Structure 1
Amino acid sequence: MRRAVARSDSDRAWWTDAVCYVVHVPSFADADGDGVGDLAGVRSRLGYLELLGVDALTLALPEPAGRHPTDDVDGLVSDAHRCGLKVTVDVPLGDDPAELEHILRSWLAHGVDGFRVGGDPAGGGDPTEAHRTVRKVLDEHPAVMAAGRWSAAGPLDLVVDRGLVLPRFDADALQAAVERALTAAERAGVPPAWTAVDHRGPRQADRFGAGEDGPRRARAMALFALALPGAVFLDQGEELGLAGAEAGVPLPWEGAEPPFAFSTAPRTWPVPGDWADRTVAAQLEDTDSTLSLYRRALELRQEHPAVAGSTVEWYGAPPGCCALRRQPGGLVCAVNSAAAPVPLPPGEVLLSSVPLAGEQLAPDAAAWLV
């Protein structure tokens, strides 16, 4: 039997509106100097995730490491919990429910708090039976979450939607994608979980256009996704506005030269040499940086009473624009994907993806208002 989603703030499930930071372990941080990221590297950077303001981290490990947790996980989970962070894991469905059950129980023995269940079983079969296996195991662990796409059984705790992985930045397409996802989540009886990145493809800052267009639109997309009800899976590096390289390139931490403190190895994966102003250290010092925008949005999402409620209301907007209101909290998010500025909705501006010019919202921008 599927667990009901808690209805009050005091006892609602932790994952209902969590922001989960997806850590692609091989490209996050290398602690042992072999040129490849590792769990010890993740553990050494937990302070950054706490500073960023996310609620959980999701470990994405290459096969077969994702199937066989090691003792390194224990220290990571313990330290993450001390930082107030939940730890979740990407697990493949595979094609053997017995193997899936073994994987889940192995990770649970190390104290993880949830799972993001991947795609379809091998061969593209129906995931329903695998989802039932997940539910059977997690019904023994009521504080542990399972996220995945909707299936006929609908037994998971979050419905992961990929509708925001759009080929272009378009307000009409955003509204349509959200409406479809909310309908699917309502049908399943659980909250939605949003993701705007396909880790196998280009980053948003590259996908949405060349030059300054892509990073500008990616900033607007960040405010739109974080304004939505439900959970959010934030892919590593999106908060830095990285462009010019595939998503699997190592994260730049600090310094003026590649690999920007990702590793002490003399040779590692190639990192763009022009990322010195994109590093974590550089952006933490810049109040106008993409990282600072994410930190402020995550702070408001956690603390501002307007960022609350599971209902989305849409209201009239100029062509090429959309505007939603979260209810009952009242947060308004306006998005302009048109070529010209448009009037802002009435209200006090909490945050905007670009500096505002009077009462106008610039092209390729978004703003939060109350």
Structure 2
Amino acid sequence: MNTQTVPAPRATAAATPDTDWWRSAVIYEVYVRSFADADGDGTGDLAGVRSRLGYLKDLGVDALWFTPWYPSPLADGGYDVSDYRAINPAFGDLAEAEALIAEALALGIRTIIDIVPNHVSNEHPWFREALAAAPGSPARERFWFREGRGEHGELPPTDWVSNFGGPTWTRTTNPDGTPGEWYLHLFAPEQPDLNWDHPETRREHESILRFWFDRGVAGVRIDSAALLVKDATLPEVPENPAPGQHPNTDRDELHDIYRSWRAIADGYEGTRVLVGEIWLPDAERFANYLRPDEMHTAFNFDFMSRAWNAEQLRTSIDTMLAAHAPVGAPSTWVLSNHDVTRPVTRYGRADSTFAFAGKRFGTPTDLASGTRRARAAALLTAALPGSLYLYQGDELGLPEVEDIPRHLLTDPMHHRSGGVDPGRDGCRVPLPWSGDHPPYGFSAPVGTTPAPRTWLPQPQGWERLTVEAQERDPHSMLSLYRAALRLRTNDSDLGDGSLEWLPSAPGVLAFSRGDVVCVTNFGSSPAALPAHSAVLLASADLEGDRLPCDATVWLRPPH
């Protein structure tokens, strides 16, 4: 279904120089809790990742990005960090992390870790110290403590809205039981925002960077990278803020922070990359973070948020390539992550765009259509110039799990929406590795004791989606991804570089990457293929010399 024999194999491309590895890298996101469980407690761990490094090598990835693996109360899936220099005991310990970094590197796979600089956990020592201290004390200056508005301070300092919905301020209680100051949290109350005007905050995070670079990590993904700096006067958010004038997003002062981080990264051997999580609608403001002395790359959320539509996706590709060109940075391409409805489900909906505000229970989905489109999208994104991010389980074609019992949902986005938003747990369900019933090889049995339930329940019916089942099926999503990543690695025309659009019919996108032509048919009827000398890879069976709807093919042009 997905491959056809190429008449003559091409020579393997030379290895990417170490300094440029990130420009073309395939980076696999590991959500540790849900990847693999080695100790049989139902929760994924670093030993589980170590046991599956061979799988990741065979898949063809160049680096692993780990979502936060630090000690955390898990109020927000680990993005509420209580200690940046240790490992969550449920996942292992620091020695296990160091072994994982080394073992992966021995297989040619680098490690990128998540840094969460905007906020900490409310159990972080700094915040505990701040709560115990009096108003106006130095410990509170590391955060945003303020008196409330109103006659008795009963109103929050601003009416800012949290990224998780609801207010951004929580009121403290004084030792005598009376209401106290308020503190700022752009996310959940358990995630108090740090004050980046404070020199201790800056020094601490520079130290954290060095701590992990010293242990061999090849880069950091910077969570909520555009939110760190606030306008200290705490004005309300204007209806249409001018560039750089939003009181808590994309402040110009951020760039000095990332220049200092880049100087630290550049002081290490090889390239230690800074990758920003930056959700900004302004492409020029977005690109400012990618100037040569700041971040190396940033996530391209525009592409991921678009509908399955030729015109929309071409506009996104053109916009993002044009935005990156002046700063010389490669774009990143990503279909989903641990926050986003999985492609198989999202592309099967009448509205296949993605926006957090639009998520609702009971949205109809055609999984057969979504799977066809997700297969086509996999080849389309893998052919685009730059680096490619792959979220664990997308290579298996896992759908969003939408029937998790509500009392088991953990995501604050669900709870703070009053139960309207299903939240993000549906894309975080533990992976199926083998077998015909839960836990599908995710949790190793301990002795004769059966494996326990996984921390989020896996659905029945996933036996056909396990790694074991898909490895036996040459037409599976896993086989498609392996073939695509192998070609991408071995063909010097793919990865970083340029793109040339080719003439195509309405509803069809066609472009060349040197000696590779990529064609995607978004239309409702088969599309004629351009002249070619060989078919390298296709997401669906071709119909003679025509490409079915919702399909992508890679071709070798005529010689």
TM-score by length of 1: 0.92
Deviates more, 1:31-40 or 1:14-23: 31-40
- Alpha carbons 2:299, 2:333 under 8 Å: kept: yes
CA distance in 2, matches of 1:25, 1:49: 14
Given candidates 291, 313, 324, the residue that maps to 1:174 is 313
The 1:261/1:66 distance shift into structure 2, 3 A limit, reads farther
Contact 1:60 1:66 in 2 (8 A): no
1:121 corresponds to which letter in structure 2? Answer: L
1:132 aligns to 2:256 (yes or no)? no
* 2:25 matched residue in structure 1: 18
- Write 1 or 2 for the structure with the bigger share of strand: 1
- Note the C-alpha offset of 1:188: 2.2
Does the 8 Å CA contact 2:29/2:64 hold for their aligned counterparts?
A: yes
The aligned counterpart of 1:222 is 378
CA contact (8 A) 1:205 1:214 kept: yes
Match of 2:47 among 40, 43, 52: 40
Paired position in structure 2 for 1:231: 387
The answer to whether 1:152 aligns with 2:288 is: yes
In the TM superposition, what are the counterparts of 1:1-370 in structure 2 within 5 Å? 13-61=20-68, 62-63=78-79, 64=81, 67-69=84-86, 70-94=94-118, 95=194, 96-119=201-224, 120-122=226-228, 123-126=248-251, 127-141=254-268, 142-148=270-276, 149=278, 150=286, 152=288, 154=291, 155-209=294-348, 210-245=366-401, 246-263=426-443, 264=445, 265-268=451-454, 269-307=456-494, 310-326=497-513, 329-347=514-532, 348-370=534-556
Q: How many residue pairs end up in the alignment?
A: 361
Deviates more, 1:35-44 or 1:213-222: 35-44
Aligned AA (2:203): A
Distance 1:309 1:78, change over 3 A: closer
Instruction: State the one-letter code of the partner of 1:130.
Output: I
- The whole-number CA distance in structure 1 between the counterparts of 2:306 and 2:322 is 22
Is the contact made by 2:387 and 2:495 (CA closer than 8 Å) also made in structure 1? no
Mapped contact 1:128–1:151 kept (Cα < 8 A): no
Letter in 2 for 1:324: F
- Determine if contact 1:167/1:208 at 8 Å carries over to the other structure: no
Q: What RMSD, in angstroms, separates the aligned Cα atoms of the two structures?
A: 1.9
CA distance in 1, matches of 2:16, 2:99: 31
Give 1:283's aligned amino acid: Q
Q: Distance in 1 between matches of 2:313 and 2:287?
A: 23
Q: After TM superposition, give the deviation of residue 117 of structure 1 in Å.
A: 1.8
**Deviation of 1:166 (Å):** 3.1
Aligned AA for 2:526?
P
Distance 1:218 1:172, change over 3 A: same
In structure 1, how many angstroms separate the alpha carbons of the residues matched to 2:275 and 2:497? Answer: 18
C-alpha distance in 1 between matches for 2:41 and 2:520: 44
Task: Say if 1:262 and 1:356 are closer, same or farther in 2 by CA, change over 3 A.
Answer: same
Separation (CA, whole Å) in 2 of partners of 1:363 and 1:52: 27
Change (3 A) 1:197 1:262: same
Q: Contact between 1:66 and 1:90, CA under 8 Å: does it hold in 2?
A: no
Q: Which has the larger radius of gyration?
A: 2
Tell me whether 112-121 or 70-79 shows the greater mean CA deviation: 112-121
Q: Secondary structure at the match of 2:299?
A: strand
Structure 1 residue 51 displacement after superposition: 0.8
- Distance in 2, matches of 1:313 and 1:335, equals 14
Inter-partner Cα distance in structure 2 for 1:9 and 1:286: 31
Distance in 2, matches of 1:77 and 1:244, equals 30
Q: For structure 2, which runs of at least 5 residues remain unmatched after alignment?
A: 1-14, 69-77, 87-93, 119-193, 195-200, 229-247, 279-285, 349-365, 402-425, 446-450
* 1:66-116: CA deviation from partner (whole Å, max 9, x where unpaired): 833423211101110111111111222324333321221121121111122
CA offset digits 1:290-312 (Å, max 9, x no partner): 00000000010011244366111
Supply the distance in 2 between the matched residues of 1:247 and 1:273 (Cα, whole angstroms): 16
Report if the CA contact (8 A) 1:168-1:207 is conserved.
Answer: no
Determine what percentage of the aligned residue pairs are the same residue: 39
Instruction: State the 1:10 CA deviation.
Output: 5.0
8 Å contact from structure 1 (residues 167, 207) kept in 2: no
Q: Which moved more, 1:109-118 or 1:336-345?
A: 109-118
- CA–CA distance in structure 1, aligned partners of residues 465 and 117 of structure 2: 36
Higher mean alpha-carbon deviation, 232-241 vs 110-119, is at 110-119
The 2-side partners of 1:91 and 1:66 are apart by 11
Of 142-151 and 261-270, deviating more is 142-151
Q: Is the Cα contact below 8 Å between 1:193 and 1:233 reproduced in 2?
A: yes
CA distance in 2, matches of 1:179, 1:273: 41
Quick check: 159-168 or 29-38, which moved more?
159-168
Task: Provide the C-alpha distance between the structure 1 equivalents of 2:372 and 2:83, rounded to a whole number of angstroms.
Answer: 35
Q: Given that residues 258 and 271 in structure 1 are in contact (C-alpha distance below 8 angstroms), is that contact kept between their aligned partners in structure 2?
A: yes
SS at match of 1:13: helix
Deviation at 1:240, TM superposition (A): 0.3
1:271 CA drift (Å): 0.5
The letter of the residue matching 2:210 is: R
